[in-house]
Amino acid sequence: MLEMFLIALFCAIWQFFASNDIGYTISDTLGQPVLVGGILGILMGDIQKGLLIGGSLQLLYLGVIYPGGTVPACASTAALVAIPVALRTGLDPKAAIVLAVPFGILGALLWNLKYSFNSFIVAKADKAIADNNFSKIPLYGKYYPLVLAFIIFSIPIFFCNILAPSLVAQFIENIPQWAMHGIEVSGGLLPAIGFAIAIYTLGNKLTMPFFIIGYFLVIYLKLPIMAVAIFGTAIAFVYLYMTNNQKIGV
């Protein structure tokens, strides 16, 4: 029971930092399912299964973008509930992916709730500026949004981790074998959807050549994924540097 409480508390705190845009790079990295899976796998004594579930969820949300700040699904919420629940109940990784989908949608609703409440805080900040009451700006610009984010994100994640394992365990015990097999098959197909969305996003004349280069490096040169990732990062920096120089006329 103590372990469950500590894991739930850890997930709640992790989600707080992942959802507060403490530098987009930091918050986005913290919210990646493969990182969440690795960390939770270490904490819960099954890093292989944690990485397997996290990697599969990473593929599922690989092509998800946030146009105009809109969050269609929250990968970190899905990972921080589905992964610990699956590790605790022994749920099959493919079935865990199916379990993650509704929690990802729940995360999107929580983001919209945060935006709605923040609009009232911004209105208060505007009024404080109009009244020359600048001492309240840190409250409206920093502290109130942080408290609000903790209430909206961390508390639901905490209780989901406390309540969900027992519910999932009962579900597994009562569901027929053929239905569980169907869930596992569906879970195996879901990552392909995320990968397909990513490929569709890459499908333009500027980015597709880089995808083809990466594909042939793996297939024909037998390079490991880490080597391709390093090459890709280097090429991205060179491309960015050359593009910026062209814009400023250097």
Please give the residue that has the higher pLDDT: either 184 or 158. Answer: 158
Same domain, 157 and 213: no
Same domain, 95 and 156: yes
Same domain, 102 and 142: yes
Q: What is the pLDDT of residues 201-242, one digit of tens each?
A: 666 677 777 778 877 878 888 878 778 778 888 888 887 787
Q: What is the pLDDT of residues 8-25, one digit of tens each?
A: 899 999 999 888 866 667
Average pLDDT score over residue span 50-75: 74
**R_g over Cα of the chain:** 21
Same domain, 162 and 231: no
**Average pLDDT of the residues of the chain:** 78
Range of the domain at 38: 2-202
Domain count, the chain: 2
Same domain, 75 and 141: yes
39 confidence band (pLDDT: 50, 70, 90): very high
Average pLDDT score over residue span 99-122: 83
Kindly state the DSSP code that residue 20 receives in the 8-state scheme. T
3-state secondary structure of 24: helix
Name which of 62, 60, 79 is nearest 188 in CA terms: 60
How far apart, in whole angstroms, are the C-alpha atoms of residue 57 and residue 62? 8
What's the gap between Cα 239 and its chain centre? 27
Please give the residue that has the higher pLDDT: either 7 or 163. Answer: 7
Same domain, 156 and 216: no
